[in-house]
Chains A and B, each alone.
Chain A
Amino acid sequence: MQTGLEDQLGLYQKRIPIFTRSVKGRFRRFKTSVLVLAYAIYFLLPWLPWSRLDAPAQAVLFDLPGRRFLIFGLTVYPQDVIWLALLLFIAAILLFFVTGLVGRAFCGYFCFQTLWTDFFIWIEHAIQGERPARVRLYRQPWNREKVLKIGSTHALWLLASFWTGLTFVAYFAYAPQLVVAFFTGQAAAAAYITVSILTLSTYAAAGLMREQICTYVCPYGRFQSVMYEAETLAVHYDARRGEAAHGRAAARAGQRTLAERRDKGLGDCVDCGLCVQVCPVGIDIRDGLQYKCISCGLCIDACNTIMDSFSFPRGLIRYDSEKNLAAATPAAPRVQWKRLKTVGYGVALILMTSYLAYSIGTRGSFDRAVNQIRQPLYVVLSNGDIRNRYQIRITNKAGQDQTYVISARGIPANALDLGNFREITVKPGHSGLVQASVRLAPALAAQTQGFELIITPSGKGAEARSESVRFDSPGKRP
């Protein structure tokens, strides 16, 4: 039998709005400085000038039509996709490494969802006031004050979202021109589409959805449990100290000092609820470690403030490990890295980072691809000689025209025929294509398994690169 409970509950659960109380402390200061630094980099970087010969003077420019990324003095071409792959691998391993040591530090301090939500809450706070004022405003009927305050909050959010989107687009075109073109209706359709999508998604994610992104959309919180270990530091409530024998209790007369509370068997938690009020995801940390916790540390700041005001020792809520909390005599919490998983991630990080740095540091000024023509693998010529052909593609990654000289090693000098292109000049960012053919007498061909083609930028002998290629002839099986 249906009981009609659906009617009481409603088919859909409305979001319970969270009004966070602002708090002062170590973690709040850290979060604010990360926010300021990250915003400074994100919003100002596209405007940083950088003089270039062959491209707009913008320090960081992702030049999609030109198929290249310009990052300060470095030019990245599609051929360098391995760098991007490595960078993503490094980012993933760094995430696992840090999570194993200090929990979801990325979520709490660095994730853009956290940063933008923090900024949007700051706007909300600046206009509507502290938590009690915002709760009151939320509950009061729509009147002039509510319309003005809520309206201006949303307007500012939209403005911040719009500038976020516009800044993103500014990384893909010369920023000063783009911004002028954007407001005069001259910019590319892709710019308008990208900016509107980013404006709407930023507004929705940081203004309207907030913690729901972390709880429902982001998969990271769901798999944090496989990256946490007993030694991992995380934001914990010290339940043994806070609850003691008879649980938490308000600091009424007779149970105000530590000594009085010990006598009554009461814990140190005065049940002020401040840790819940400051939480941006609306949880109670005293329920223990949970998937919704983004590990932002604001409850630590809040609890320390209260502990200080009662002259209780700090750290009722603190960064600690499950193992230490469960120990008979808990030691001072510290980062524990002497574990196989952590050391493994650390070694992988060092190896990949050094390889990436090495690869970028020793990059050549050109790219080359030498392919043997396989249809046919070899040709028998009229006098019986064997000819193999090769296609050489040289991509100039330097900033100016460059001439390349092609030579061979391991075969007689006159065997290599480059037709009209013993030298080829390639424009910056372009590719040059040369067909080389190698002709060997049958006896020599039978002995020759392969040889080396050498490409030398003229005037830069040190940058010469060689490519080993096969030489095929009849009767020789690969």
Chain B
Amino acid sequence: MNVEINGARIFFEIPVLGGIPITATMVNAWCIMVLIIGLCIWLTRDLKVRPTGKRQIVAEFVVQTAQKFVVGNMGERFRNMVPFVSAIFSMSVLCSLSSLVGAFPATSDLSTELAWAVVVFIMITGTKIRTGGLGGYLKGFTQPIFILTPFNILSELATPISMSFRHFGNIVSGSVITSLVYAALAVASHALFGWLPGALGEILGSIPFLQVGIPAVLSVYFDLFSSCMQAFIFCMLTMLYIANAAEE
């Protein structure tokens, strides 16, 4: 029984600054970015005031859904957040779904999510400073009493960590469980047919019959449902945190 659970493969290293490794995460993330940009360009080519083609109707539906999602959750004054949230959402969904075609999903590398979460953290801090001023922001750490300052700083730092770990853990747990199930099913089908006498048992036992079909059910949950769910939750938390930061 051999179980292979690997991180991102390193393709090659750029020999500057002590070697920058180019991993499967980076390559796949750039492929997804190119895909999204291509999709945007294709959807928004020759727009008309009165849409005639299906393509423009799809594009308008996507934009309207994104606007309704963001404005409904954050309020009208955050309409400029629509592109940011939809960018993170589309990137997250497509990265996670890229495991369906056998590519290494960029979201199962913590660096990807941590980058997004750090960007969100900077935006939260920026919004807080813009609403309350630098003094108000620093004073917020001493609320309700000044003894709690270390805990406030800790909870501030926990935001990006918990956001990135949540997304990362969900995607990686899916791939770990799927590979464990594959290995277990190989053993099970060997036990099922391996007892047959002679060469017949050897040949039939070495073919993992049970791997057909059963993992597909897991894939529907872990790849389709969990990917979309985590992207939704990441965007939802982004919006909630930023909207909360503006209210204080």
Same complex for A and B? Answer: no
